Amino acid sequence: MNGNFLWGSATAAYQCEGGWKEGGKGLSNWDVFCHSEKNNVNPVTGDIACDHYHRYEEDIRMMAEGGQNAYRFSIAWTRILPEGTGEKNQEGIDFYNRLIDTCLKYKIEPLVTLYHYDLPQPLYEAGGWENRKIVDQYLDYAEICFKEFGDRVKYWITINEPNYETLCCYGFGNYPPNVQNLERRWRAMYHMMLASARASAAFRERKLPGMIGLVSDSYPIVAGKDTPEGLRAAHMADLFFNLSVNEVCVKGAYPRDFIEQLQADGYDISYMFKEDEAVFEKGTVDYLGINAYNRYIAEPPQGPETILDVNNTGDGKKKRFQIGGWFCLGEDPDMEKTPWGMEICPRSIYDLLMELKRLYPDTPVMITENGVGNYDEVTDEGVHDPYRVAYLQGYVDWIGKAIEDGCDVRGYFVWSTMDVYSWINGYKKRYGLVYIDYDSEDLRRIPKDSYYWYKNTIEEKGRTCYG
């Protein structure tokens, strides 16, 4: 048996549900973005996606048959409150009740993300996360979810990836609102952190059983050069990617040198109110969710300008990443990379977990996402994805070693349960343990080799340090 360790996989509402206009759902910013021609470089939508809205039972059953005991999914804010605020929509609530109850029927522990990139369109139009009003609006929405589902959901996630989402929205500019403006980015992220802190405190006030956390895309950072400039660059990258989120939600305060750097950049930070400090202090997390994909090699910036290229086409071309005054990202030419330029380095998860243990010894960690995107193909004998098996195996082994060395890791979730809409990368970049044949009428599900590998691994590892 695998004790209480959670072995699962993850999805998010917009990426898999479909049913974009069903059950009284309102429109989200992603519905609107995918239907506009502007900026949608891989012009597809999540209107149907995997049709999880109707086929969720099949997906959950496959998880259970694959040995998994937990499912991480997100609630679409627009199903609960179609306009983002105001009247709640019972049909939406009923859908998530069915989803949760089906998980429980198959002995699958639900982990629920309250916000995973899809914002109700009216709130988006009012400025989205840049507008401080959203903090109260998010709290109202979270309270409804705690009330409706809190009797059965024991693991909550306030917000998915405040860092990566805002980097895409306001850094790369490949997610709506498609701008390149880091000043606006930090502001939006601040309101996310504030909203998360408010919801964490509110959850605890309800005295519901369970834990609440935030999912942080976190990165092991290596200094490219062992010089004072090289070490400074590594620290700046750590502030940029990790500490600007993790310190706030785990320790309840922004790092002083982070704030100083925003001021040095000449940014207006008047949106940071003095009274918010108490909110952050009170709203720390019970556990930290980590989305683990890659590591970064930090170098001193090569100039004052900020350059953020992005690879949404899987063309293998090299991209530049530099934050003027902070750092730039280097590369290790000897490391294997995916067609989207992501370095494959499973052992780096060990370094990250040991660093989290050093920084936050009392906070349990949950690996809420780990996976690799690729072009998978179906053959007569199924879907062979040895690259995914090797990648996941490496991560699972190194996580096991970190557990042996004292890290408090409570669960591991593969991204993704089945192939899903991969945001701006469309449908060709597949991460699933289960292949979706998007061309077939019934959106046929075909377990990949990695699905069977995962099943065996859960059985085996459950008898080791993961117990």
Q: What are the residues binding ligand NOJ (CB under 6 A)? A: 12, 15, 160-161, 291, 369, 415, 422-423, 431
Instruction: Pick the closer one to ligand NOJ by CB: 16 or 62.
Output: 16
Contacts 24+ apart (CB under 8 A), 333-338: 338/314, 338/372, 338/373, 338/374
Residue 445 phi, psi (nearest 5):
-100, 125
* SS (HEC) of 23-81: CCCCCEHHHHHHHCCCCCCCCCCCCCCCCHHHHHHHHHHHHHHCCCCEEEEECCHHHHC
Specify the residue for token string 């609440």: 212
| Cβ–Cβ under 8 Å, residues 339 and 425 | no
Helix 386-404 crosses helix 348-359 at what angle (to 10 degrees)? 30
| CB of 159 vs ligand NOJ, minimal distance in Å | 11
Q: Which structure tokens are listed for 405?
A: 């060395």
| Cβ–Cβ under 8 Å, residues 182 and 170 | yes
Of 17, 130, 148, 369, the active-site residue reads 369
Instruction: Pick the closer one to ligand NOJ by CB: 284 or 374.
Output: 374
| CB of 45 vs ligand NOJ, minimal distance in Å | 15
Residue 431 phi, psi (nearest 5):
-120, -10
| CB of 253 vs ligand NOJ, minimal distance in Å | 25
| CB of 160 vs ligand NOJ, minimal distance in Å | 5
| CB of 325 vs ligand NOJ, minimal distance in Å | 27
| Cα gap 34→183, rounded to integer Å | 26
| Cβ–Cβ under 8 Å, residues 367 and 413 | yes
| CB of 71 vs ligand NOJ, minimal distance in Å | 15
Candidates 285, 95, 306; CA nearest to 186 is 306
Single-letter amino acid, residue 437? D
Single-letter amino acid, residue 128? G
H or E element in which residue 304 lies: none
Grouping H, G, I as helix, E, B as strand and the rest as coil, residue 1 is coil
Annotation marks residue 161 as catalytic = yes
Q: Compute how many other C-beta atoms are within 10 angstroms of the C-beta atom of residue 384.
A: 15
State the alpha helices, DSSP H only, in 155-255: 162-167, 182-205, 228-238, 244-246
Pairing of strands 211-217, 287-292: parallel
| CB of 165 vs ligand NOJ, minimal distance in Å | 8
| CB of 164 vs ligand NOJ, minimal distance in Å | 6
| Cα gap 182→171, rounded to integer Å | 6
Of 17, 109, 161, 247, the active-site residue reads 161
Specify the residue for token string 């709130």: 123
Annotation marks residue 229 as catalytic = no
CA distances from 22 to 78, 118, 443 (A): 11, 16, 18
Instruction: Pick the closer one to ligand NOJ by CB: 20 or 415.
Output: 415
**Mind telling me the catalytic residues?**
161, 369
